[in-house]
Structure 1
Amino acid sequence: MSFPDGLPTTLVSYEAANPAGGGPAQGTVTFELTVDAISLTDTGLVYTGSGTYGFNTEGQLVDDTGTSGVRLIPNDLPYANPQNSRWLVTDRIAGAPVRSYYISLSVDQPEADLGKIQQMDAGQPEYTAVIGPAGPAGAQGATGPKGDTGEAGPVGATGPAGPAGATGPQGPTGEQGPVGPAGATGATGATGAQGPKGDTGNTGPQGPAGVPPTGDQVGVTRTVDKPTDEAVTTSIALQADDHLSLSVTAGGRYAIDAMLVATGDPAGDLLLTLAAPPGSVGHWTPGAITLGVSDGTGSIRLTRYDLGVSIGVGITAAGLIVAPLGTFTAGADGTLTLQWAQAVSSATPTVLKAGSWLRLTRVA
């Protein structure tokens, strides 16, 4: 159960043992209001229903989050409607009979232990267990009388001192002993204070200007331009473009984009794909208008295709822009190549115009 901040609640705890064997209890405890709902008039909240909770591995009652104890609304909240509610508690512990009993909680009781307030007389119908207030501390009793001091034991007799012996003659001086071993090296003294900071040295000469990365490296974008028109007539067999290809390195990941200016018979259209080295993995989309258009108006095809899969797109005699996009990881050293043909064989040439380009950016 979840309650707003500031709402008084009582944390109900319960630790039970399995009646067979004495280990931690297994089962559930259900709490049900004896009224259909409780309305908290100062918050506008209404609480209904019931809750069923289980035991952890130590036999302790836990809430839905696994925290010991379950928080319940006290039955005497001054702004609760109605005021005469109680909680019906039902224990379903494995190996023991199902037991139901009533309890009443107070806002003055932040905690309650079911093990201490369970109904003791099951013969009384609807008996409600209520936690009574703690009684006052009793007065301190009087100090008892001091016991008698025990008798001291007898002191033993002191024995007589013996006579002092005569001083003996001084013995001869012995030879000087060998030099003892050197003592251990003492600890290193503390480091002296740091000397004053020296003057700043002269500024060194300006280094040479950096050179941006080139070639097939991460972060480098390479573009190949189509310098002349290229035409295909009466052919639906894919052929590699004469100009639009770029080298790739095994394991490199690339972003693909291109701008193709295509003209031709609208009945012939354009068939194209992007071919990569064996083992490459990736996808592309033609970014072009669908087949069968004559004026450049129609739906744009953005379907995802695997590399090497060809698809036909629409073109017109006046010319359309085809803008493929894609990404792939090269499976081997080689080239990424634009391949194209007519989608339907036509005697009217399908032309890929000069100024078209293919671009690769290595991203990993």
Structure 2
Amino acid sequence: MTAPTTAPTDPSGAYPGYLDCLADADEDAAIDVALDLLAAGVPAERVLLDLVAPAQAEVGERWARNEWSVAQEHAATHISERVVAAVAAHANPRPTGGRVVVACTDGEWHALPPRLVAEVLRLRGWQVTFLGASVPAAHLVSYLHRHDAHAVALACALPMRLPHAHRMIEACRRSDVPVVVGGRGFGADGRWARRLGVAWAPDAPAAADLVGDERALRRVPPAQLAHLSDDEYASLVRRRSELIDRALADLRERAPATRDYTPAQLDSTVSDLGYLVDFLAASLYVDDVSLFTDFVDWMVTILTSRGVPAAALELTLEHYGRVLHDFPRAAHALTLGRAGLSAARR
């Protein structure tokens, strides 16, 4: 067991021991840390937001720094999900408000952050239905038709899912259900939520406050998407498979080492080529080049931490730039992405 012998009485004091539990994949000890805090009188909401949430953020950072494998990250995430369930069972609040539906956008698999939001809402008296990861818009609407909902809370961790998120937001509105969104996918300051014309909350308490203020939920400016009339986004999405295939062929021609990749390395490369197209498409959707260039910077960090030279990424950006020369906004984003790469290598 990795839990400390003397239980801390606040989340900050328990945090190092809890991280050790995650590192050791010790589920029982992790649950004990959380339950000991509850027994000491720490409110359940603080245990969720001041212990579980920051620990999970650190888990992601350790994966990004290549300190933890995917398997370790998955094990830690599973344990934190079990801890959330234990805290929820211990608190066992009784609903006094209406139903709030919480879900991840279609294609979004990071379910723990919205689960935390769901439990905070539940602790504050709402009847919560948590639909989990990657919920198709049609399935969400079908659920809303069967069950009256006061509001929907949608989570998106990856900006490349913003077009899917917007479709879900509009589908909810056609069902006359207000929406609040959250997650890093909408920008650290919610800028892309504002572009989509939807209420945004930076954290679980703010989401709970918004859900409790229906006028604020509905009082949002219209979406700012007039730029989509140029058809660049739609054309890029239609050409996605072709772009990936051509980029892979170009990479094999210009970087001969890629010809000897293992099947796992090849799969990873194809995924990365697809992510570049998807983030580029999302940047066109919200008309913000920083969405794409920030992703390029992040990808350089990830590749470098794994010993993969960033030169291959620069070759791919150059290739996409040539192929998409007649897409003005996409070409501009690719040029800025390459400029950022060059600056980082100086």
Q: Normalised by the shorter chain, which TM-score bucket?
A: under 0.3
What is the TM-score of this pair, normalised by structure 1?
A: 0.15
Q: Which has the larger radius of gyration?
A: 1
Higher relative contact order (CA 8 A, sep 6+): 1
Under a length normalisation based on structure 2, what TM-score does the superposition of the two structures give?
Answer: 0.16
Normalized per residue, the structure richer in helix is 2
More strand by share: 1
